Amino acid sequence: MNKRLYWAAAALAVSLLSPLAAAADGVMHKDPYCGCCTAWAEHMQKNGVALQSRNEADMSALKARLKVPADLRSCHTAEIGGYVFEGHVPADLVKKVLKDKPKIVGLAVPGMPMGSPGMEGPSKQPYQVLSFDEQGRRSVYATR
């Protein structure tokens, strides 16, 4: 193979693979009218976790399918690395779960606490990040 053909083939391979390199780490399911969800996705992006955003017509059905307990639900749900992240979970805790690989379904920040990622504002309220498993058991994973 001559050098020009080799380099042309290499350039073609790189151009075809570059969308894969830029692929999202996960997907965030959200209501199409929610603004804080976008702010949370930006928080994740700034911390090295890229998310594809997907508008959903029936978030309740999606959360039920992903085994998010009803009392832990928030405005958006992300699927990253085989785990579920419900609501405004801080990026450092998402990364910790992905690194440690605990035997849980995921983490949740119930409601929309002020001061959590994506809900920044003039005040900050303390909140808990809860882990939950297949049986619906939960425990406090972190307090912020």
* pLDDT given at position 88: 98
pLDDT at 2: 55
- The per-residue pLDDT for range 52-91, each reduced to its tens digit, is 999 999 999 999 999 999 999 999 999 999 999 999 999 9
Q: Which residues pair with 107 in a beta bridge?
A: 85, 131
Residue 142: burial class (beta carbons within 10 Å; 0-12, 13-18, 19+): middle
**Is residue 32 very low, low, confident or very high in pLDDT (cuts 50, 70, 90)?**
confident
If one compares 92 and 8, the residue with the highest pLDDT of the two is 92
Q: Give residues with Cβ within 8 angstroms of 107, minimum separation 6.
A: 83, 84, 85, 86, 89, 93, 94, 97, 129, 130, 131, 132, 141
Is the per-residue pLDDT at 1 higher than 60? Answer: no
- Dist CA 4 CA 52 (whole Å): 37
pLDDT, position 97: 98
Query: Distance between CA atoms of 105 and 127, rounded to whole angstroms?
Result: 20
Tokens in use for 131? 């882990």
Q: Which amino acid is at 12?
A: L
CA distances from 48 to 25, 27, 128, 129 (A): 9, 14, 23, 20
* 87-138 confidence digits (pLDDT tens): 999 999 999 999 999 999 999 999 999 999 999 999 999 999 999 999 989 9
**Model pTM?**
0.83
C-beta separation of 60 from 81 below 8 A: no
